[in-house]
Amino acid sequence: MINDEELRMQMENDLRRLKEKLKETPDDPLPLMALRMKYPFNSSSDSLKSLLLHDDYDLQTLSSLLLAEYHSWNRKHQK
């Protein structure tokens, strides 16, 4: 079983790759859709895209926020 810090680091790496893809092709929805399928979360994809493209947060902070969203989504949908 993967612990939260390992999962957060994995998310950070995935966000880094996503950020690079978004800079190359910002209108391609597939990379964001793939991330949502891997880590379901409650926030909008557009919000995440905006945060990544405008460097509003460093990737460590953003991955921590994504981890919290991911846990929240899982708790909500397990019921």
Domain coordinates in residue numbering, the chain: 4-78
Mean pLDDT of the residues in the chain: 92
pLDDT at 79 over 70: no
Give the pLDDT score at 43: 85
pLDDT in tens, 22-45: 999 999 999 999 999 999 988 888
* Tokens at 67, concatenated: 């981890």
pLDDT in tens, 36-75: 999 998 888 888 899 899 987 899 999 999 999 999 999 8
DSSP 1-29: ---HHHHHHHHHHHHHHHHHHHHH-TT--
pLDDT at 77 over 90: no
